[in-house]
Amino acid sequence: MNSKELSEYLKIIKQSVNDFDDPEQALSAAEAITPVAEQGNTRAQYMLGMYNYTFYSEDSSRFLPWMEKAAEAGNEKAIKFLADYYRFICEDLDLEQRKRLGQKWVHRMIEVLTKKADKGVVSAAKSLVNLYVHDRPCDMTEKEGREAALMWHERLIEILREKAEQGTAKDKKNLADALYNGCDAPEEIDGSLPDRADEAVRIYEEISGEKKDGASFYDLGRMYSREVSEEKAFECYMKAAELGYTSAYYAIATAYLNGEGTERDFYKAFEWFRKAADSGDTSAKLKLAECYKCGAGCEKDYAAAMALYQQVAGGKNMKMYSFADVAEYEIGNMYLKGLGVEVDLRKAYDYFKRAASHDNRAAENALNNKKFRDFQR
């Protein structure tokens, strides 16, 4: 079996495991990869373990041997599975046995990750930071876990520095991001990390000077807005936009809208929101709709606002879907108040209900309107 065929079979099993669906197709794939797993392929061993755990979870003899083979060979996913299984799921053993086996695999995970981190693998160092905070060995106190996490965080910064010194602008950006946001360190240690924002700004300046591309100026602008000045941030956003970096359009529009780094100008804000919306920015579409609805920087145009809200509410891609509740709430409001449409309480109620089903609090409150009593029976 070649690597492409193996990947396809693994993909089939992974999909079935994630959806708990199509066991027959998963069985065929599992049978196909069994010889590969028997030859020592840890990816195949791990997926066979997951397949058997998903569909035959009550029979540990079907999944544990595969997981243990993969874990002994250093498969991180299998090691984590076994650590979690013995600590939180297993009911076949007594407490002491579960504790002992759980800790065995936690220490095995530390061993595997440490070897990788010592070789300069960034993801391994990050995993160790999180492990010592959230999954530390039970023979380690919380304080000791935090200290170990902080030590590995410093090692992570060292690894990123080494890569940045020898690598590309991307490596430098990774270092700057890490210096500024702490590599998304757990909140339990975030307050103990040194403030390295000044160094991050310096590196962003260096990158933008070297690359002179839109993305670099945009990143520098975001850094300036937090650490230096809104005026410098605005200059960077404009440079990024001039270089065709469309993500800067929304930042420029917001700056004009709020008077951040430049004079407040609703007309210019409207134009930049329109540019951002035309480039596919969902947040900009909602802002542009708001401009049309309120007449901010343009004449009121309820039809244009409704069209934009409908577009976002009906969007099928994930980015639009995440904003759908806001659009649904606004459409409900327009039908409730008769903004550019006839007042239609039924439609208003239906849109508020859709928005509320997506956890929109404003829509949940709107449904308490006395006008909707008849629809709630």
What does the pLDDT look like over 51-88, one tens digit per residue? 999 988 889 999 999 999 999 999 999 999 999 999 89
Strands (E) in the chain, as ranges, are none
Q: Which CATH superfamily is 212-287 part of?
A: Tetratricopeptide repeat domain (1.25.40.10)
Contact present, 97 and 85 (Cβ < 8 Å): no
* Interatomic CA distance for residues 336 and 358, integer angstroms: 19
Q: Is the pLDDT of residue 316 over 80?
A: no
Alpha helices in 141-196, H assignment, sequence order: 142-166, 169-181, 187-190
Q: Is the pLDDT of residue 255 over 60?
A: yes
Q: Is the pLDDT of residue 339 over 60?
A: yes
Residue 341: its pLDDT value, please? 92
What are 204-252's pLDDT values in tens digits? 888 877 767 788 889 888 888 887 889 999 999 999 999 999 999 999 9
| Residue 92 burial by Cβ neighbours in a 10 Å radius (0-12, 13-18, 19+) | exposed
* Interatomic CA distance for residues 323 and 43, integer angstroms: 37
Contact present, 102 and 124 (Cβ < 8 Å): no
Contact present, 23 and 57 (Cβ < 8 Å): no
Give the mean model confidence (pLDDT) for residues 333-348.
Answer: 93
Residue 153: its pLDDT value, please? 93
Residue 315: its pLDDT value, please? 67
Task: Output 180 or 255, whichever has higher pLDDT.
Answer: 255
List all residues 6 or more positions away from 136 whose beta carbon is below 8 Å from its beta carbon.
Answer: 106, 142, 144, 145, 148
Q: Is the pLDDT of residue 183 over 90?
A: no
323's enclosing H/E stretch is none
* Mean per-residue pLDDT of the chain: 89
Residue 173: its pLDDT value, please? 84
* Interatomic CA distance for residues 156 and 132, integer angstroms: 14
Residue 370: its pLDDT value, please? 86
Residue 274: its pLDDT value, please? 96
Residue 22: its pLDDT value, please? 75
| Domain regions of the chain by residue span | 212-287, 301-377
Residue 319 pLDDT level (bands cut at 50, 70, 90): low
Residue 91 pLDDT level (bands cut at 50, 70, 90): confident
Contact present, 340 and 304 (Cβ < 8 Å): no
Contact present, 209 and 194 (Cβ < 8 Å): no
Residue 329: its pLDDT value, please? 94
